[in-house]
Amino acid sequence: MQESLTIQIEMAVDYITEFWPTAFNQTSHLALDNGSLRKVILCGSGDSHHAALGLEMIFKTLAKRQVQAGPSMYISRYLVPDLGETSQATLLVGISSSGEVARTIEALEIGNEVGAQTLAITSNFDSTLARIANSVLQVDLPDFPSGPGLLSYLGSMLMGYALATSLCDGDSAQRLSKGLETLPVILERWMPDQLEIGRRFAHEVQDGTCVMVGGGLAYASALFGAAKVIEAAGEKVWAQELEEWAHLEYFCEPANMTTWILRAGGRCRSREVEVINAAKTIGRNLAISSWDGGEDWQPLFRESLSPLALWVAPVAYASERSIILDEVPFRGFGGGRDPREGGGASRIRSSQRQDIKSVLRQLA
């Protein structure tokens, strides 16, 4: 049987094609107080956190809202409690495919208590997250074998873009919608070379240690790519922000350390060139993924949609590494791990949730 990520890669373009109109239609019927809405906060854990980071720019550049994205625990315990008078002008978006992640539920619960507008993006309409949110956007997912999530990530992203469209003015909404409609055709042309890069590179690494590097939204894609390698193959892979790589991993040994640079071609473009030159100069085993977008896309728009593309080569790499190593995803939930908890003792779902009063007591 084919490995799950391989199957999801093969389904991805059709899924984007089919789900985008559904996502757009859902958000067009969403009842939000757009007139008073000044700020959007996006949060999630794991892949949903990476999706939140990847969506940040589109709300800022096209929807023209103040926006902040971050991990659910930071948002719930350090940001939302201090919204104060701005809470009613804030839309707090919790992203969770299962809808049962404790920290994201906690964020929306505290958001409700302080008076923010709360919205859940989830594939589980009957979940706790959906039940407590003021509004729900449901991500429809096709059937695919159990394994590291790709389609769930893409579905959350697409719903986020659709939400941004609903907050845009008419011209910006049309521009974004058209971009998403043409994206599958662009991806079909762009993906084959990227898949080849990922699969070939999987056979060139030494011990599996790898750092994925990206600036701006490409950093969100680096986080997601690293996560897929960890989940699928269990190897030592992490993500680093483009500028911080030059301050830290630049000095790592060995000289041929595997390094993957993701390029969105936006505001970090000049620094991407410098970091690539630095990595080559010191002898890194280097892979580069460069997203070109549509022919008439401006750099900022191209970067804004890059998270829907820059996953391709890293996910192909993750899938191929798992096959080479004959590895079971999530280490087969062995060693005390439990799939019902997303990791057993980690208590991702059953972790004690806090309310606004207990959080404020801790912050006092």
**DSSP string over 20-63:** HHHHHHHHHT----TTT--EEEEEESTHHHHHHHHHHHHHHHTS
Class of the CATH domain delimited by 184-329 = alpha beta
Q: Which amino acid is at 218?
A: A
CATH code of the domain occupying 4-168+345-363: 3.40.50.10490
Residue 91: partners with Cβ closer than 8 Å, 6 or more residues away:
32, 37, 39, 40, 41, 116, 117, 118, 119
* pLDDT tens for the 364 residues of the chain, in order: 468 999 999 999 999 999 999 999 999 888 777 778 999 999 999 999 999 999 999 999 999 999 999 999 999 999 999 999 899 999 999 999 999 999 999 999 999 999 999 999 999 999 999 999 999 999 999 999 889 999 999 999 999 999 999 999 889 999 999 999 999 999 999 999 999 999 999 998 888 899 999 999 999 999 999 999 999 999 999 999 999 999 999 999 999 999 999 999 899 999 999 999 999 999 999 999 999 999 889 999 999 999 999 999 999 999 999 999 999 999 888 887 887 777 778 889 989 998 888 877 776 6
Structure tokens belonging to residue 60: 């800022």
Q: Does 4-168+345-363 match 184-329 in CATH topology?
A: yes
- Nearest one of 362, 343, 279, 361 to 102, comparing CA atoms: 343
Q: Can you give the pTM of this predicted structure?
A: 0.95
**Residue 53 near residue 219 (C-beta atoms within 8 A):** yes
* Residue 33 confidence (pLDDT): 72
What does the domain layout of the chain look like in residue ranges?
4-168+345-363, 184-329
* Residue 207 confidence (pLDDT): 86
